[in-house]
Amino acid sequence: MEEFEYRFKRFLINNKIEILIACLTFLFFSLTPIRDFGGDTVPVKYVTLSIINEGNFDLDEYISFLKVNYPYDPDKNGLPYYVVRGTNDHYLSTYGVGAPMIYYPFVAFANYFLKFSTDSWYKLMLTFKIASAILMSLASIVIYKILRYKTSDRGAVILTGAFALCTNVWTISSQAPWQHGPNQLMLLFATYFVIRGENESEYIKYAAIPLAFSVLIRPTSALFAIIFSLYIVWKHRDQFVYYMLMALPFFAVYAAYNYAYFQNIFASGQLIASQNIALIQTSDQYLWSGDMIQGMIGILFSPSRGIFIYSPFFVLLFLNAMPWKREPIGILLLVCSISLLITASLWFNWWGGYTYGYRTISDIIPFIIILLSLSFNEMYGTKWKRSIFWFLLVLAFSIQMIGAYLYDNSWNIENNVDKNHDVLWDWNNTQIGYYINKMLSRAPVYTNSQRYGD
């Protein structure tokens, strides 16, 4: 018993900063209103329940409920956009099975006591909200550990706070079962293993596990998996075979799922469903039909979607000596960030549908924070630079707090953003300004039934 107490005390002492980060971020993430974001978050919830109750990944037992309660953008067969029909007539999630697999232990534990059903709306929302908050608190710890390799202890703490509370991590990833939260966590683990592997090469191979899992969560993560793999061939060629062997089981799961439900190991529900959505919104099934220049400017600077509007401190990445020149890891993360930015810019709805801020490129938030850490000492070196940094950080915190507490989809609905794209460029009717005015006028938020037509 004394041995255990001694080890426990040493653990608390040695990890006091990590424990404090976990507690504070969890409080910030969880003490926000419980909301049903609908849309992309719906299938994650019900596939998780299907795994628990039926031991499978299909939505057959929930399809009637989903059509009535979450009838978004139905296709010609009346299926909501987040549901696809497999070649074996099973109803499946549009999205990958990775996110439900990550949420499974949290929900299975809660289900043991709460016994979820389709009528358990509040209990289900609360469980997934808490699980999302826990996952992103864990992500905050991982990024802190990464940042300690690249900057001072002070810089690591400040940038960890920026990651958690001054980006869409607070407003999106930590609030509901979007794919982005689990994906960001996996990408952070992969980056941690690569950075630690700079001095301890045996860790390099372990990056394959979270990277491969990230592809199960979001198909676009295949971009990152390819780029990371090329980096490992470049810098750690002796570890590449072990790295690939680590990834094989996860790619086997990916191929087996696609073949079982779509009779094609390279098929995916997201590809099939996205073609249907593109046809509805653009009258064209081609997914990369967007104007890349317009999409890129929108993702970066749109008053209601731009990353430099919602997290303005990110602009500091370009106001110092380019950090990616200093370390190979900087090149890796910069290339990953640019690859997703280009892909999202070409996507037929670069604005990401009904959302708050720059959700479509949320997956690169960890990469940008780490890139900032490479020049933190320079960025924080003089009084006037510190003043600019803190001004932009407080501004970003305020914008994200507005979303965390007030966002209810009403701006998207009232402006019909999927059809009326001009509003995304209207500085007189911004999403941020709308919610500030709503707060000042004490206007009520949309209820669940008003939002989703229950």
Q: Smallest Cα–Cα separation from 41: which of 91, 95, 87?
A: 95
Cβ distance 37 to 409 under 8 Å?
yes
pLDDT at residue 14, rounded to an integer: 78
Residues 6 or more apart whose CB falls under 8 angstroms from that of 67 comprise 74, 78, 79, 80
**CA 324 → CA 2, 229, 265, 330, 337, distances in Å?**
49, 18, 36, 4, 12
pLDDT at residue 322, rounded to an integer: 65
Phi, psi of 62 (to 5 degrees): -115, -5
Give the angle subtended at the CA of 347 by the CAs of 346 and 352, to the nearest 5°.
130
**CA 54 → CA 57, 141, 254, 323, distances in Å?**
8, 34, 20, 50
Give the angle subtended at the CA of 39 by the CAs of 81 and 165, to the nearest 5°.
145
Average pLDDT, the chain: 90
Identity of the amino acid at 421: H
Give the span between the Cα atoms of 270 and 276, in whole angstroms.
10
Give the span between the Cα atoms of 10 and 8, in whole angstroms.
5
pLDDT at residue 283, rounded to an integer: 57
pLDDT at residue 453, rounded to an integer: 31
Any idea which residue has 């104007």 for tokens?
291
CB half-sphere exposure, 156, CA atoms < 13 A = 17
Q: Is 296 strand, coil or helix?
A: helix
What does pLDDT average to in each consecutive run of 10 residues of the chain (454 residues)? 76 88 98 90 96 95 92 75 89 94 98 88 95 99 97 96 99 97 99 96 97 96 97 96 97 92 82 66 61 95 98 89 75 96 92 95 98 90 91 98 95 93 96 95 58 33
pLDDT at residue 87, rounded to an integer: 84
Q: Which residues pair with 91 in a beta bridge?
A: 85
pLDDT at residue 327, rounded to an integer: 86
> What distance separates the 2 farthest-apart alpha carbons in the chain?
70
- Structural tokens at position 127: 């469980």
Q: What pTM did the predictor assign?
A: 0.94
- Structural tokens at position 55: 């031991």
Sign of CA dihedral 317, 322, 328, 332: positive
Q: Is 197 strand, coil or helix?
A: coil
Q: Which residues pair with 93 in a beta bridge?
A: 83
Residues 6 or more apart whose CB falls under 8 angstroms from that of 63 comprise 83, 91
